[in-house]
Structure 1
Amino acid sequence: MGAHISIPMYQRAVKQRYRLVGLKCLKCGKINFPPKAGCKYCGNFDQFEEAQLSGKGKVYSYTIIAGAGAPPEFSEEAAYRRFYPVVLVELDEGPRIVAQLVDVEKDQVEIGMPVELVIRRIYTEEDVIRYGYKFRPKKD
């Protein structure tokens, strides 16, 4: 059994899960993703506007997750693939986010590699398929 995320909690995060919508702080100008109640850069709590992120960026860092090291909600994928790359992506707009890298072999992952957002199946819980963002190498 993986980490439980209720349907209402999952639905509240649809903008960030499917569209990469963050919050731009109107005091310091930085984009917070995922959105939080306060700006992680300057502490502002009341002056934000939504910011649509492009979904394009580059690999800032990465690791390869092996079957035994996968979180429970990813055990199905780990059993199928035996490994998968997880990357820290620095988006063109500045925020860094962690996600799985798909459509690539583990020995092809490189720091600085251009990547782009894709929406894919993450896992199934209580017979409900949960989708979210992953990244793939950018196609020219």
Structure 2
Amino acid sequence: MGAHISIPMYQRAVPQRYRLAGQKCKSCGKVNFPPKAVCKYCQSGAEFENIQLSGRGTVYSHTVIAGGGAPPEFSEEARCKGSYPVAVVELEEGPRIIAQLINPPEEGITVGMKVEAVFRRIYQEEGVVRYGFKFRPV
């Protein structure tokens, strides 16, 4: 059994999952992703400008997830593929997000490597295919 995300909760997250929709705090100017009720940087801003994130960034940190370390919703992928790389990606606009890396270069993943977001199938739950973004080297 995976970590359950209800269909209504999943649908509320569609803008950030499908379109990388972020929000720029009108108080401090920092970009929040995923969107928050209060700015996670200044913790006083509650007014935001919606922005479209570019999907471009660099690898800030990375690791490889294998069998027993996979989150429940990715256990099927871990069984099929074995291990898979995951990175903390620092987007051009500032936020850092965790995402799976696809098509890693043969020479390996490096900190500072340029990456871009791509829309992919993530997993299936309750008969609904869940989509979102992964990153690939540029």
TM-score in terms of structure 1 length = 0.94
User: What SS class does the counterpart of residue 9 from structure 2 fall into?
Assistant: helix
Q: Give yes or no for the alignment of 1:110 onto 2:110.
A: yes
Amino acid corresponding to residue 55 of structure 2 in structure 1: G
1:135 — aligned with what? 135
Q: In the TM superposition, what is the alpha-carbon distance from 1:107 to its structure 2 partner?
A: 5.5
CA shift at 1:52, angstroms? Answer: 0.8
The alpha-carbon deviation at position 105 of structure 1 amounts to 5.5
Task: Give % identity.
Answer: 67
Which residue of structure 1 aligns with residue 32 of structure 2?
32
What pairs up with 1:1-140 in 2 under 5 angstroms? 1-104=1-104, 108-138=108-138
Partners of 1:7 and 1:119 in 2: CA distance? 19
C-alpha deviation, 1:35, in angstroms: 0.7
Query: What is the alpha-carbon distance in structure 1 between the residues aligned to residue 89 and residue 20 of structure 2?
Result: 13
Q: Which runs of 5+ in 2 are unaligned?
A: none
> Contact 1:85 / 1:106 at 8 angstroms: preserved in 2?
no
State the distance in 2 between where 1:123 and 1:11 align: 15
- Is there any run of 5+ residues in structure 1 with no aligned partner, and where? none
Deviation digits for residues 61-102 of structure 1 (CA, Å, limit 9, x no counterpart): 001001111111101110111100110000001000000001
SS state at 1:120 partner: strand
- Equivalent residue of 2:102, what SS? coil
Name the amino acid aligned to 2:28.
C
Question: Which contiguous aligned blocks of 4+ residues in structure 1 show a shift greater than 6 angstroms?
Answer: none
8 Å CA contact 2:105, 2:137 repeated in 1: no
Q: Which amino acid aligns with 1:22?
A: G
2:77 and 2:107 map into 1 onto residues whose CA distance is 18
**Aligned residues, how many?**
138
Change (3 A) 1:106 1:128: farther
Counterpart contact for 1:60–1:90, Cα < 8 Å:
yes
